Chain A
């Protein structure tokens, strides 16, 4: 993040108690917090200034969280964390996958939310093409929609897998350190351990590579980390 000053968060929730509690906590942790009671108010606030992160509730009067997130995403690649009393297995929450960076189920521990915010903010500054990224050899990354196309067959990615691929794609052909990947994929409250990265990379290879034991795209750089390659020409 290159912008000077504290990180700005726009918090959107229809429960005034939660707004009071969360804005207090976040401010004491050094964030600049703006609040809105519903989606339309949030859009009005966005007219004035763009925050670095949005925290939005899924169920709200007037403009619900999903519609708000879609409108925001249509205008900028802002990281969004959804707060919801409905967990990710729900059909409504499923639609969020494409627009939300992460979600946290209510009720939550504040430290858990702060850890997620920290993790999401780590990726600010990383840029990957908003459309599809063709790696050649029939493999196309479509990270906005959490999927990979292998020979035009859709392979769904889990949130963690897409975060790791996002970090690798932002530094295509460059080694990304295991610790960096760990910090992008998992928040501190999840007791992050390098073994998570190893195992997840192995699972990713099973999805992407023609021969997972002889990877072309996801290369291990021993002792350092991993590198995402394009397929060799020819």
Chain B
């Protein structure tokens, strides 16, 4: 069975406490009243019976009976000495049992209780609710007996007020218990509401402590619980944010310092230290009352322990399982951060080594190439020998491929910084074409960008154009066409679009993006080129704030277009 609500139970209990005594009291009063009324009736009836007997003569007939019945209002029955009914009159008179024998015990009368009345009459109560008074006519032994009978009297007049008092008491008790119940329930409801807010995350919710009783103490201990939770929450926030401001390159020392700061703030440590390489050795905090004590957690990365974090707590501070868990979380976080920092350092070191290596390779390759090119160029100028020009062109080509290797690493590292200058794109395209030394193929330059200068890094753009022209010559066929045009972009700024178009087999739409990936060679079986040219070109263009893509072409061939910031020549 479901238990009743606390409020209903309180109401019922209070009602019971008020109503039960009132009920018992009322019953007692009723009994007492009943007794008194009965006694008074018996006395009156007895006296009337005796008076009737005294005044009666020998004429014990129906007329006399009717006369007495009329005078007293009671039933009248005459008996002879043997108990035979001589005459009767009035209500209930025919039910009056014969008088008890005077010599016999009064209780011997069948179904009746008999007692001697105050006036010499004998009183008897019948089972049918009559009170009967027997009085002797003539004296003893009796010759005749007169019996007056009346229904037994009760206190009906008192019953109604008593019932009213009872009802009033009940109503009052109900009101009182409701009011009292409310005053008892109210703090509990408040506590419940506060707990609901607490559950909803409002850790500042407090129950007002209004008294020093059980309810007051319940409220106070709730408030302590809420304060502890809020404290833990703050500690958790501090722990989880401990490394937020730090980048991976901050280094191990910074992470340790941040962890120490967070531990101080979160746990109230008076001293804290991160010990790398030392596993924890405080097994269980031995607390000596009144003395500071140490707690510790491992810097754990899975099964590996990188060290420990140890803090000293003031003697007043509690340390529970939840605190230890939180410290462990801090330890795990710090271990992750330290491992990250170490990996970052190692990666940065490797990257620097790689860059150093590539710089060395580049320098060591470019130095002899510079001399080859310089002397071959000098001789070519002096002798006009075409073979020497080929040496110049091919050594330059080799230099560019070596330079691309170095550029790739700079694109990867994102360290490219263009030296922006302004220049006409048409002249630059022509120069790049000449340096390729492909006199056998025609360059179709359609310069639609007169009046505009490109604003970009001259050397880089030269590398990009060279790479695109070189690609067109190696993969395409027939003439190479370059088209220049100023194009307004979505933001309204003008960009200079340079399109390099060949008439080779072209590149399928699904391969277009792959063409810009490093070491990709789309033409099967060819090993020509480094596979870096397009990737480097795109990296350089993007570092200058432009884009490089493969455009749709009509007919056969491929068309690479790149965009660059442009400046109108305009007024000086």
Contacts and interface: CB of A to CB of B under 8 A. Distances in A.
How many B residues touch the partner, as a band?
A: 35 or more
B167 to A, nearest CB: 91
B367 A85 contact: yes
Contact of B378 (A21, A191, A202): A21
B537 to A, nearest CB: 14
A74 interface: no
A108 B370 contact: yes
A41 interface: no
B424 interface: yes
A89 B422 contact: no
B332 interface: no
Contacts of A90: 359, 406, 410, 415
A195 B419 CA distance: 19
Contacts of B420: 158
Contacts of B368: 15, 17
A198 interface: yes
A22 B367 CA distance: 13
Contact of B459 (A87, A160, A200): A87
Interface string A191-217: 101111111111100000000000000
Interface centre among B365, B419, B569, B570 (most CB of A within 10 A): B419
A72 interface: no
Contact of B366 (A107, A160, A191): A107
B327 interface: no
Given A109-B377, A196-B453, A200-B422, A59 B363 contact: yes
Contacts of A191: 424, 427
A62 to B, nearest CB: 15
A85 B363 contact: yes
A90 B405 CA distance: 13
Interface string A168-208: 00000000001000000000001101111111111100000
Contacts of B374: 17-18, 21-22, 107, 110
Contacts of B359: 59, 86, 90, 92
B362 A85 contact: yes
B378 A199 contact: no
Contacts of A107: 366, 369-370, 373-374, 395-396, 399
Contacts of B417: 88-89, 94
Interface in B179-201: none
Given A18-B371, A107-B395, A202-B567, A160 B421 contact: yes
Given A107-B395, A199-B453, A85 B377 contact: no
Given A158-B419, A195-B569, A202-B567, A85 B378 contact: no
Contacts of B572: 178, 194, 197-198, 201, 220, 222
Contact of A18 (B362, B370, B568, B570): B370
A215 to B, nearest CB: 12
B357 interface: no
Interface string A153-170: 000001110000000000
B455 interface: yes
B423 A196 contact: yes
Interface in B115-167: none
B38 interface: no
A110 B380 CA distance: 13
Contacts of A21: 371, 374-375, 378
Given A196-B422, A199-B567, A89 B453 contact: no
Interface string A82-108: 000111111110100000000001111
A151 to B, nearest CB: 23
Interface centre among A17, A85, A86, A87 (most CB of B within 10 A): A85
B333 interface: no
Interface string B417-449: 111111110010000000000000000000000
Contacts of A203: 422, 455, 567
A163 B365 CA distance: 32
B74 interface: no
A197 B375 CA distance: 36
Contacts of A222: 572
Contacts of B543: 89
B243 interface: no
A106 B459 CA distance: 12
The 9 closest A-B pairs by CB, nearest first: A85-B366, A17-B371, A107-B370, A195-B569, A198-B572, A199-B567, A21-B374, A199-B422, A107-B373
Interface of B: 359-360, 362-363, 365-371, 373-375, 377-378, 395-396, 399, 403, 406-407, 410, 415-424, 427, 453, 455, 457-460, 543, 567-572
